[in-house]
């Protein structure tokens, strides 16, 4: 396990009530209601939050990879992230799909960028070997 040498940022939240509760960040920028997946109640769920965080981080990692190759990313670069919550033999698990959109980038270059981003993105590192992940380029 790699230990961080220099902390760049620490996200801090307080959650009460679990999937039927609320979560707030210490700086007040995040203040959300939580609800179970598929319920009609107002609020989001941990799977949506994880998908949003991972996709945002992944775009950043693509940008770093593109910078190394001196490639300018299209302004409409996007990552559609899907995070599934499911069970196997009664235990809960996650799995994910990241669908990357890099319009105007040649297929082989897009694949190289996505592969490098998946290698370096902290969310990808955290999930590697722990959950099933599928990458695709649209």
pTM of the model: 0.94
For the domain 1-43, what is the CATH code? 2.20.25.10
- The pLDDT tens digits of the residues spanning 34-70 come to 999 989 999 999 999 999 999 999 999 999 999 999 9
For domain 44-135, the CATH class is: alpha beta
Q: Which residue in 136, 60, 134, 49 sits closest to 101, CA to CA?
A: 136
In the chain, the percentage of residues whose pLDDT exceeds 70 is: 100
From-to residues of CATH 2.20.25.10 in the chain: 1-43
Measured CA distances, 93 to 33, 47, 90, 111 (Å): 23, 11, 10, 27
What average pLDDT does the chain have? 97
């Amino acid at each position: 396990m790699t230990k961080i040498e220099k902390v760049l940022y620490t996200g801090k939240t307080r959650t009460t009530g679990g999937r039927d509760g609320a979560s707030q960040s210490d700086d007040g920028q995040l203040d959300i209601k939580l609800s179970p997946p598929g319920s009609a109640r107002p609020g989001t769920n941990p799977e949506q939050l994880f998908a949003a965080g991972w996709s945002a981080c992944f775009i950043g990692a693509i940008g770093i990879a593109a910078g190394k190759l001196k490639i300018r990313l299209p302004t409409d670069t996007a990552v559609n992230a899907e995070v599934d919550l499911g069970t196997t033999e009664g235990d809960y698990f996650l799995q994910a799909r990241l669908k990357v959109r890099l319009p105007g980038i040649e297929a082989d270059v897009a694949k190289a960028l996505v592969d490098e981003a998946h290698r370096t993105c902290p969310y990808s590192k955290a999930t590697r070997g722990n959950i099933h992940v599928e990458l695709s380029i649209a």
